[in-house]
């Protein structure tokens, strides 16, 4: 049977539905087995399917069933041909359908030799077995279930001003419902937890979704007295509708002066986070600043961005020290010192990082470097004496431990 004859038979049967984006017949679907329920997969979720792929002449070129392997992919991430992304989101659980996909939504003019000739229309039989909500954080700490698909393809990001309706539930009890407008990264000032912010950055305008947030992205081990949420509360549920958001300029759309202005804005926001003890969020802002001031050291504008680089690394070190992540604090201090060999903050915070790592000799050297720059720095002098006491105790403890080992042997 020729492709023209197949097209004619399909059009006469009346069972194929045109699901192509432009309604031009380039993706046709017919259901061969009805599915269950009313839910459909959505962009971002992970689907599990069985499939058989054929050319229009009936020749089979691939089959998950023959291999005995269930095939999975994330919808809308360009991991499969366009026709699949379009077709699978129209299916219900346990539905089986047939998709007829024209070359522009398959492998195009080039095909996929040797199995798929150039400019091939493909026929896929697909069985939708199941799907999982979108894993927003890639560690199952936040997952998102779309109730209503949004518009366009753009999404908010760290610099976006968003307006949402949010409804929070815990253990079946409503604890908060409101419209709220805020800048992504400053949700903490509006009782919006980190997990919700991360989910919003995966949403489109007018999208509505259920978002499930575990404790590490919500109220952690502190809980929230205001909303009567206990420490380490997992699976907090939020019903979120993203009304609008403002799309800031991309880095590549800015000249260097605009980048410096944005860097200052981000720096101001990071300082707010530090004052609110939101150290992880502050680190995100400082990392963002570094992208805006990234420039070759030989460029004439390099000196304009240098203070932002130094401040970003130095304040990240401070944040990591507050989080007791002394290894990353040390790395950030080394970046500061490489940019400014006479940075008092750089050496002082390096000393604090070494104390946290119980590397007291190196801590003494770092604080002595501070004194070498500022001879009357009392804080550094006190730290040197403190470290010497800690080193003495450490040495005595090691001597005692090794002495016991020798005695035992």
Helices (H), 176-222: 194-200
Task: Read off the tokens for 272.
Answer: 């707010």
Tell me the CATH number for domain 3-132.
Answer: 3.10.50.40
Element at 398 (helix H, strand E): helix 378-408
Integer Cα distance of 329 and 349 in angstroms: 8
CATH class, 251-405 region: mainly alpha
Catalytic option among 27, 81, 123, 310: 81
What pLDDT score was predicted for residue 248? Answer: 86
- In angstroms, how far is the first alpha carbon of the chain from the final one? 88
- CA–CA dist 148, 144 (Å, integer): 12
239 classed as catalytic? no
- Note the CATH architecture for domain 142-245: Roll (3.10)
Q: 42, 107, 217, 347: which one is catalytic?
A: 107
pTM of the model: 0.74
- Residue spans per domain, the chain: 3-132, 142-245, 251-405
Please report the pLDDT score of residue 190 as a whole number: 94
Verify whether residue 170 is a known catalytic residue: no
Among this protein's residues, is 124 annotated catalytic? yes
Ranges of H-type helices in 186-325: 194-200, 256-275, 279-292, 302-322
Token readout for 273 is: 């986070």
Catalytic hit among 7, 31, 48, 62: 62
DSSP conformational letter for 205: B
Dihedral over alpha carbons 101, 106, 111, 112 (to 10 degrees): -110
**pLDDT for res 152:** 82
Q: Catalytic residue at 219?
A: no
399: which strand partners?
none
For residues 242-273, one letter each, b for 16 or more C-beta atoms within 10 angstroms of the residue's C-beta and e for the rest, the string is: beebeebeeeeeeeeeebbebbebbbebbebb
Q: How far is it, in rounded angstroms, from Cα 309 to Cα 293?
A: 7
Is residue 348 annotated as part of the catalytic site, yes or no?
no
354 carries an active-site annotation:
no
- What does the CA dihedral 392, 397, 402, 408 come to, rounded to 10 degrees? 150
Residue 170 parent element (H or E) = strand 161-170
Query: 100 forms bridges with which residues in the sheet?
Result: 28, 123
The pLDDT of residue 140: 93
Active-site residue, selected from the candidate residues 16, 124, 308, 354: 124
What span, in angstroms and rounded, lies between the C-alpha atoms of 213 and 202? Answer: 14
Catalytic residue among 51, 279, 348, 360: 51
Same fold, 3-132 and 142-245: yes
| List 61, 73, 188, 227, catalytic entry | 61
| Cα-trace Rg, the chain | 29
Each residue's pLDDT expressed in tens, for the chain with a length of 409 residues: 454 454 444 444 447 899 999 999 999 999 999 999 988 999 889 999 999 999 999 999 999 999 999 999 999 889 999 999 999 999 999 999 999 999 999 999 999 999 999 999 999 999 999 999 999 999 999 999 999 989 888 999 888 999 999 999 999 999 999 999 999 999 999 999 999 999 999 999 999 999 999 999 999 999 999 999 999 999 899 999 999 999 888 888 999 999 999 999 999 999 999 999 999 999 999 999 999 998 877 788 889 999 999 999 999 999 999 999 999 999 999 999 999 999 999 999 999 999 999 999 999 999 999 999 999 999 999 999 999 999 999 988 878 776 665 555 4
Q: Alpha carbon of 375 to those of 74, 379, 380: distances in Å? A: 59, 11, 9
């Amino acid at each position: 049977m020729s492709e023209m004859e197949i097209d004619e038979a399909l059009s006469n049967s009346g069972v194929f539905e045109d699901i192509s984006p432009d309604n031009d017949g380039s993706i046709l679907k017919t259901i061969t087995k009805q599915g269950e329920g009313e839910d459909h997969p959505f962009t971002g979720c992970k689907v599990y399917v069985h499939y058989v792929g054929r050319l229009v002449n009936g020749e089979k070129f691939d089959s998950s069933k023959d291999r005995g392997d269930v095939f999975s992919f994330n919808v809308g991430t360009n991991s499969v041909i366009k026709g699949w992304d379009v077709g699978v989101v129209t299916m219900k659980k346990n539905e089986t359908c047939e998709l007829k996909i024209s070359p522009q939504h398959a492998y195009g003019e080039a095909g996929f030799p040797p199995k798929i000739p150039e400019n091939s229309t493909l026929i896929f039989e697909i069985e939708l077995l199941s799907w999982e909500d979108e894993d927003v954080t890639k560690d199952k700490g936040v997952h998102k279930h779309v109730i209503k698909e949004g518009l366009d393809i753009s999404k908010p990001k760290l610099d976006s001003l968003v307006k949402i309706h949010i409804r929070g539930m815990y253990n079946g009890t409503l604890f908060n419902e409101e419209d709220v407008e805020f800048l992504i990264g400053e949700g903490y000032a509006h009782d919006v937890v980190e997990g919700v912010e991360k989910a919003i950055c995966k949403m489109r305008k007018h999208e509505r979704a259920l978002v499930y947030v575990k404790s590490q992205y919500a109220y952690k081990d502190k809980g929230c007295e205001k909303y009567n949420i206990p420490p380490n509360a997992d699976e907090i549920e939020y019903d979120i509708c993203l009304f609008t958001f403002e799309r800031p300029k991309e880095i590549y759309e800015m000249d260097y002066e605009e980048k410096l202005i944005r860097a200052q804005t981000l720096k101001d926001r990071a300082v707010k986070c530090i004052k609110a003890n939101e150290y992880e969020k502050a680190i995100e802002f400082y990392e963002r600043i570094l992208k805006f001031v990234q420039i070759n050291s030989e460029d004439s504008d390099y000196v304009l961005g240098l203070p932002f680089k130094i401040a970003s690394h130095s304040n990240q070190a401070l944040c990591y020290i507050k989080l007791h992540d002394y290894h990353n604090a040390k790395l950030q201090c080394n970046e500061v010192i490489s940019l400014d060999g006479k940075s008092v903050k750089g050496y002082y915070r390096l000393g604090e990082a070494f104390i946290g790592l119980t590397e007291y000799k190196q801590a003494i050297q770092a604080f002595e470097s501070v004194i070498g720059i500022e001879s009357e720095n009392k804080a550094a002098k006190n730290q040197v004496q403190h470290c010497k006491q800690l080193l003495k105790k450490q040495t005595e403890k090691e001597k005692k431990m090794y002495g016991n080992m020798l005695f035992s042997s």
